[in-house]
Structure 1
Amino acid sequence: MFLTKQLRFTLQSTSFVVVLAACVGATILYAGVNESGGEFGVFGSPGTGLPGEFGVTYDFIAESTVDTFVDTNQINFFRVTFLMERMCPLATGLGSTFNETYFSEYEDAINYITVTKGAYALIDPHNYMVRRIFYSDPSSQPNSGSIIGDTTDPSAATTEQFQEFWTELATRFVDNPNVVFGINNEPHDMATSLILQNDQAAINGIRSTGATQLILAPGNGFTGGHSWTQVTGANDDPSSEWLNQIVDPLNNTAIDIHEYLDEDFSGSHDTCTQPGPTNLAALTTWLQENNLKAIVSEFGGSNDPTCLEMVPELINYLSENDVYIGWSAWAAGPFWGTNSPCCGPEVGSLEPGQLDEEGGPNGYTTVWQAVIQPNINLSDLKRSGVSSLS
């Protein structure tokens, strides 16, 4: 999701019951929200923000928010963002050398979710793969930077360095069965064959540590589900032509999908015009044909009547098709304040406990209330143990 969107909250009382749940008989194992904030503090401010100051420039979660989502809402899945430029200092570049302060802060957030609360945490390097900067300021992400693995760019991090990074990160979480590894956020505008190469390198690095947890692999075109079988970017091959070549010795890698329902699939408009079932139909067939699973790790909608109809329709579609095993909504996060992470100027964040711009109490937006089905059974959601497709 682009972080340049300046959107506003229109929020309701936190007394509303949860918004994020799986239906009776659903195939959904993971249901939850994105926790956005670890990537804050560098965008639009060249020369600033790195490494940043925890609690001032960036933050990962509010523990009270996680408590609310798990204890009251009974969800089990959090996608937690971070910046690779913070995890790997610019001076040393992408690889196995970490900023131990930043890692420790991130680890604390992951452990609170997974150990203290017993939920699952999806690790999210929020770097777009295709447009990341490792040796200069990343303030203009996702629209500039060096492509990981681009051998024609001398400033680009190599695929081998990417594998080193993932080997080190997986080593640090190898004994945490409630961690899910997300390879990278929203690759776009690069050769799809290179995305496969980088995805495979990450998988190889993760598995080399003995880690058995679930991995999510993204495709091209911002990993959009609607465009999975289509040419994207500068005539880049469809993701469907390459991503079925992924090899995981444990067969525990799923496809990472993002799907917004507005006119250009960006999540920047308050009207939903793109029905999820229609736009995911080709992807669903591809997953079935290739015996693969997927998680929709980003989606969103506004309070517009079109979204109040189409967002629940999307959730139901995922639940009714067993190739989909999870979803997470965009987005909560401790630093959104009176801004909104997606879907128009009067939508609202999913972060409980903050105030709207008039100083009133916040809560869950109407569109999330509409997701709740009359008969909710959350017993199908995984609660502990190694994340696995088996």
Structure 2
Amino acid sequence: MLFKSLVMAALLAAQATATIYYAGVAESGGEFGVYSSSKTPGTGLPGTFGVDYKFINESAIDVYVDQNKVNLFRVAFLLERMCPVATGLGATFNETHYGFFADAIDYITTTKGAYAILDPHNYMRYNDPSQQPSTGSIIGDTTDSTAATTAQFAEFWGELARRLKDNEKVIFGLNNEPHDMDTNLILANDQAAINAIRAAGANQLIIAPGNGYTGGHSWTQDYAGNSPASSAVLGNLTDPANNTAFDIHEYLDSDFSGGHANCSQSGPTNLAPLTAWLKSNSFKAMITEFGGSNSTGCAGYITELANYMAQNEEYIGWTAWAAGPLWGTNSPCCGDGNAWGSLEPGSVAADGSPGFYTTVWERDIQPLVPRVLQWSGVSSVQGGGLTMKM
């Protein structure tokens, strides 16, 4: 009885102060298998499921939910597999491919009771992922006759939302890392997708990206390829359900790419202008990509970033980059090309030593996972259904 009372007291105290409702890991693998050294369009499409690409390992999801007590997974896929180029972006899906994806989302949300971000990993481009992020036509670019239109982008999201509107644990991530395009076009695409999702009867959380690879550090900056600044345009975004947040990425290495082993960028310092903008415009955000290597220097930077999010109510969740079923000994970030393993449970480095799951997740990130997270109710900017996973 005393134990139960202490747990309830801790839960109530946490509910009073919690701002991080969702925490977990990005699942990378659904976007694999299309790289072409010669930039040959169509390479790897549609690909063989389980060989060229795969969404999750169910055993890894088990570890993260049952042992690590996380409640969020960001699941990457390619628009060109969901909507084959032959029929175009829109409401016509490859049903076999959709079935594989739906199985992964169902396992996360129904079997394990966690939340899933649907992540079209396309950089706001469509028709040629052979050398992402540089290939493919910008969605909505009216100067490019091969580009999918904003209306087609809305049709896609309307159809996906229609299929999943009754799954309260999905989160609609509109697109991964738009870049080098007119920010006004990102606003138009984001808004069209939001309108289509709501018209389909789906009320779950939407997370919308900005320009500049949706970097938090560059949110208020205006420069070639990132103009106007996201902060100058995206405040005009509206949602009839008032359930949209911004999708932010923030790496801690010298050039914010997540490609280097050394951490040198202060998350709190670089996010301060974004945080002030979110506050003044009454928006929330999720940081769905961040990471660091297993160098001793990165641990402090990761802790600083996670604590900053927890201390600022503008941030409602995060996913670290990245786990996934196909990384093997390769590192999805922060490795300077070294094969140090990934955040996939059981991963190992090329020399057989423990991979990033052990040396980064368990050592540096796991202690930062809030004990109280949202485990029930529709995904929301306001949280709700906060419980302590026992």
Q: Same fold (TM over 0.5)?
A: yes
Scaled by the length of structure 1, the TM-score of the pair is: 0.90
Q: Unpaired runs of 5+ in structure 2?
A: 1-12, 383-390
> Structure 2 vs 1, CA of residues 302 and 355 (structure 1 numbering), >3 Å: closer, same or farther?
closer
Q: Which segment is superposed worse, 299-308 or 258-267?
A: 299-308
Cross-structure match for 2:163: 172
* Match for residue 358 of structure 1 among 351, 372, 379: 351
Q: How far apart in 1 are the matches of 2:250 and 2:345?
A: 24
What SS does structure 1 have at the residue aligned with 2:60? helix
* Match for residue 281 of structure 1 among 272, 283, 287: 272
Q: Deviations over 1:147-173 (max 9, x none)?
A: 100111110000000000000000010
Q: How far apart in 2 are the matches of 1:235 and 1:49?
A: 30
* Match for residue 127 of structure 1 among 122, 147, 150: 122
Cross-structure match for 2:243: 252
Q: How far apart in 1 are the matches of 2:222 and 2:115?
A: 33
* Match for residue 370 of structure 1 among 353, 364, 373: 364
Cross-structure match for 1:107: 102
1:82 matched to 2:77? The reply is: yes
Deviation at 1:48, TM superposition (A): 2.5
Identity %: 64
Deviation at 1:348, TM superposition (A): 3.0
Q: Deviations over 1:116-167 (max 9, x none)?
A: 00000000000000xx232xx4211111221100111110000000000000
Deviation at 1:288, TM superposition (A): 0.3
- Contact 1:124/1:184, CA 8 A, preserved across alignment: yes
> Structure 2 vs 1, CA of residues 93 and 29 (structure 1 numbering), >3 Å: closer, same or farther?
same
Query: How many equivalent pairs are there?
Result: 362
Q: How far apart in 1 are the matches of 2:266 and 2:174?
A: 27
Q: How far apart in 2 are the matches of 1:235 and 1:120?
A: 31
What is the identity, as a one-letter code, of the residue corresponding to 1:280? L
Cross-structure match for 1:325: 316
Q: How far apart in 1 are the matches of 2:190 and 2:29?
A: 24
- Contact 1:188/1:220, CA 8 A, preserved across alignment: yes
- Contact 2:179/2:225, CA 8 A, preserved across alignment: no
- Contact 1:347/1:365, CA 8 A, preserved across alignment: no
What SS does structure 1 have at the residue aligned with 2:287? strand
What SS does structure 2 have at the residue aligned with 1:335? coil
Cross-structure match for 1:348: 341
Q: How far apart in 2 are the matches of 1:84 and 1:146?
A: 12
* Match for residue 295 of structure 1 among 259, 262, 286: 286
Deviation at 1:372, TM superposition (A): 4.5
Q: Deviations over 1:291-348 (max 9, x none)?
A: 1000000001012222111011000000000000000000000000011100012643
Cross-structure match for 1:64: 59
1:208 matched to 2:202? The reply is: no
Scaled by the length of structure 2, the TM-score of the pair is: 0.90
Q: How far apart in 2 are the matches of 1:367 and 1:332?
A: 12
1:32 matched to 2:27? The reply is: no
Q: Unpaired runs of 5+ in structure 1?
A: 1-22
1:116 matched to 2:111? The reply is: yes
What SS does structure 2 have at the residue aligned with 1:206? helix
Deviation at 1:43, TM superposition (A): 1.3
Greater than 6 Å deviation, 4+ residue runs: none
What is the identity, as a one-letter code, of the residue corresponding to 2:360? V
Greater RCO (CA < 8 Å, at least 6 residues apart): 1
Cross-structure match for 2:49: 54
- Contact 2:44/2:52, CA 8 A, preserved across alignment: yes
Cross-structure match for 2:68: 73
Deviation at 1:389, TM superposition (A): 1.9
* Match for residue 41 of structure 1 among 25, 33, 43: 33
Q: How far apart in 2 are the matches of 1:121 and 1:55?
A: 20
Cross-structure match for 2:257: 266
> Structure 2 vs 1, CA of residues 194 and 284 (structure 1 numbering), >3 Å: closer, same or farther?
same
User: Cα RMSD (Å) of the superposition?
Assistant: 1.7
| Structure (1 or 2) with the greater helix fraction | 2
> Structure 2 vs 1, CA of residues 385 and 235 (structure 1 numbering), >3 Å: closer, same or farther?
closer
Q: Deviations over 1:256-288 (max 9, x none)?
A: 000001010000011111100000000000000
Cross-structure match for 1:155: 146
- Contact 2:328/2:348, CA 8 A, preserved across alignment: yes
What SS does structure 1 have at the residue aligned with 2:119? strand
> Structure 2 vs 1, CA of residues 217 and 288 (structure 1 numbering), >3 Å: closer, same or farther?
same
Q: How far apart in 1 are the matches of 2:320 and 2:359?
A: 14
Deviation at 1:234, TM superposition (A): 3.0
